[in-house]
Chain A
């Protein structure tokens, strides 16, 4: 049984972008490594980030109340939304109360998660993306393939053609990246100037000050929120952190982990509405409080949405973001999809080699691979485990339970090597699909051990995994 992910990945690999995609994301991973190696205290920073998130995610009620109190005192309107529907309705109500028809928005995974843009369009409100990559995808009617590098799957020629189709001032045949970026800067400036309202996501909501912190490289969120006087900033409730002191830790980790930069170009702090304007903060649950109740998966709430786990993932790099069925791809998306709807998004669970690289780079030390492993153990309960693999596993279990049979099987396994191809690669052998079968050695480990051919290796020092 092939998963939707493996079928889509097969298509991606046949395309001409696969090698470029893999190499480019690996380059981003290498930049991240250079950044982490430049700070002797890097591992201490990751420990601190995980510890702050563990603290804040186990004190959410108190921190959110403190945040609300401080934001309200500064003149901000604070709203609470239980689910996607209530979130979208809250945004639309605020906009309609001001007669706002044109919204400029900066990239927000929360808005994507809740389907905000189609909701607003259905109510006659334009929601224009302003991040370059997001805007390109919006005009192409595509979804992002990466949470930080949304248009990583596109070629500059496709983008140049799009700009010309859109009637932008772009010369035929000129697809230079700098030229196209500056054309977008020029041609889209009026979107900011003519907007009635601006909307942003939020990287950190600070309880101590009641302020929202937004990080961008392009300056699109900052440009948007400094034109119209109506601003809406929304965040999932796990974005709350205790104080500015915590931001010292997170701002040092975020961009270094995401793109290998020392910091994002802009780290904006929104605390009060502009003179004569309004500032609205929306705190959204949409399933997050359910995650709190799951001891195996509660650490998913530590996520900073940096995308480091995608850049390093050998499966993500070679299959592309659109191969996953959940809107967030890669290791983080596999897990968040399962938490959202396990029956619907289980196709992604096999898109993992359990190499654990994701959790080695995660700045908040989420045990991403271990959680994927746990999901695999319960797949059967959702009725989505492969029946053929299940039967083979049961047969294997029976063999392993009978030592003589197992010994005989291992001794004779090498005979399989000389079986004809058609007998090994057919629909009955699930493990022969999409990859080559292993080559069985002539001598088993147990035989080598008995003959003294194996020397005990020195035990490696246990790595510094989290102990809790």
Chain B
């Protein structure tokens, strides 16, 4: 593997030799302070989720989350989730609608055919509907392979924009995280927008 070391040194030497003008690191604080913000974050998030082709449901105190999920996805048979308890409006609820834990499968491909995955989001971004999901299972395929995705998100964890989001997120123990904004989409055939290219074709964010 001596060749690889050579390339590394050669590339770094070429960079150092060829770099001409050197620029200062910019200060982003003025931009971050001027960045867009919203008076009613919940309302803005619902609006932008709709625009991105998904939906946001504001869970009310006393609502049964299992009931809401079943209403939204009445035909879901194989329901994957690593969550067993969820705090809804300050009160803990048992999550009973999942039928299996995503890490209970022998290998990733066994997750094919999952109708619905219920996952926890950490932060939601009001300018674009992106929800940060830090992997909390070994089989991260569960975030992409299910036909539909239900994301449970604390309504107090909505931030205005990506600057705010990047201050808060991390990739967690599995070293993987992803912003997901609505369903998978493509416009590769004649620029016609189609949901459900490879990832989840339907996304609901339940704001608890």
Tell me the A residues contacting B by CB distance below 8 Å: 24, 27-28, 39-41, 44-45, 47-48, 51-52, 54-55, 58-61, 64-65, 74-75, 79-82, 86, 90, 130-133, 136, 149-152, 154-156, 159, 177-178, 180-182, 184-185, 188-189, 192-193, 209, 211, 217-220, 222-223, 226-227, 237, 242, 244-249, 251-252, 259, 261-275, 283, 285, 289-290, 292-293, 295, 298
Contacts and interface: CB of A to CB of B under 8 A. Distances in A.
Contacts of B188: 131-133, 136, 149-151, 181
10 contacts: A27-B191, A47-B31, A61-B16, A136-B188, A159-B189, A188-B198, A222-B144, A252-B163, A262-B51, A275-B138
The 10 A-B residue pairs with the shortest CB-CB distance in the complex, in nearest-first order:
A272-B175, A219-B199, A133-B188, A262-B128, A218-B197, A51-B26, A177-B192, A293-B18, A226-B141, A289-B14
A248 B165 contact: yes
A61 B12 contact: yes
A132 B34 contact: no
B205 interface: no
Given A79-B4, A223-B145, A262-B128, A271 B198 contact: no
Contact of A217 (B4, B17, B108, B184): B184
A274 B12 contact: no
A80 B12 CA distance: 10
Contacts of B176: 268-272, 274
Interface in B172-208: 174-192, 194, 196-200
A90 B6 CA distance: 14
Interface residues of B, number: 78
Contacts of A211: 171, 175
Contacts of A65: 12
A97 to B, nearest CB: 12
Contact of B199 (A51, A86, A182, A218): A218
B162 interface: yes
Contacts of A193: 108-109, 112
Nearest to B142: A226
Interface in B14-29: 14-26, 28
Interface of B: 3-4, 7-8, 10-12, 14-26, 28, 30-32, 34-36, 48, 51-52, 108-109, 112, 125, 127-130, 138-141, 143-145, 161-163, 165-167, 169, 171, 174-192, 194, 196-200
Given A181-B186, A247-B166, A289-B18, A149 B11 contact: no
Given A52-B26, A274-B140, A223 B48 contact: no
Given A61-B15, A149-B188, 19 more contacts: A41-B36, A55-B24, A61-B16, A90-B4, A151-B188, A181-B186, A181-B197, A182-B194, A217-B186, A222-B144, A226-B108, A248-B28, A252-B161, A263-B125, A268-B177, A269-B176, A290-B18, A292-B18, A293-B20
B132 to A, nearest CB: 9
A251 B165 CA distance: 11
